[in-house]
Amino acid sequence: MIINITDDFDLTKIMNSGQAFRIAEVNGYFRFITGSDIIYIKHIEGPAYELSGTFNDTCIKALPATWHDYFDLSRDYASIRKLASLDEFLRNAADCGKGIRILKQDPFECMITFIISQRKSIPSIKSCVEAIAKKYGAPMETKFETVYRFPTPEELSIATEDELRELKTGYRAPYIIDAVRRVNSGELNLEALTDLNDEDLIEVLKTVTGIGDKVANCIGLFSYGRTGLAPVDTWIKKIMDRFYNGKNPFLKYGDAAGIMQQYAFYYAVTSKLKL
């Protein structure tokens, strides 16, 4: 199936933007997974992209709704980049990050993976997340490979702290156990969080052991589509100190704050800025 995407859309930059940890290149395609849905997508030329996935290629005429929302395709990122025109650093960052989009991921997977992400390199995070999926998630067959779905809260409930430590989660193992317990007990209703405002969403997420401001903001941005949130990690803190006298430059962009933050993060980690 061939579709056209005319707005900013760069698969390599999306994969390397630090948002999601299961994106991979397979047989010339970029593979994305959310829940039990899998899509393989590759750029052909211009706005044209070829798709394959867990949907009936012969019956569908456009990108399935799940993936339209996942890639945030209703938002005009080309216009958003122009908002940074008066800020030299962010203008350069937006130019560098052109093609990045904020992915709307499964909230449970996003929560667990960003708990794991603390003080870990991206390759280590990816390896750990894949190991958890392979041990506790259900296998799914595609025409290219066998893929393991990220485990549901119920599937992950059988994991012990020792088992999770064996999968290289380290000190984060009890945090994962606590998050899984809260979701399975109903104490933390991830679906109901969609009705909360940004501030309340962050506060509820922080009730989970091991989730602080940065991880809570990442979950809000990357799974609930709260693009007004701009997580502050080590890279962003260095940018704020180096270029903005320690102040947060993203919040003035309102609902585009998180997108500007992603441009800045990608620019910092890929262009070898001296921070």
Residue 70 contacts residue 103 (beta carbons within 8 Å)? yes
Burial of 19 by CB count in 10 Å (0-12 exposed, 13-18 middle, 19+ buried)?
buried
Strands (E), 134-248: 139-141, 146-148
Query: Which of 154, 153, 175 is CA-nearest to residue 164?
Result: 175
Strand partners, 139: 148
Residue 116 contacts residue 128 (beta carbons within 8 Å)? yes
Catalytic residue among 214, 252, 272, 274: 214
214 catalytic? Reply is yes
Query: Which of 205, 200, 207, 262 is CA-nearest to residue 230?
Result: 262
Residue 47 contacts residue 5 (beta carbons within 8 Å)? yes
Q: Which residue has the tokens 């991921």?
A: 105
Give the strand pairing for 29-34 and 2-4.
Answer: unpaired
Active site residues: 214
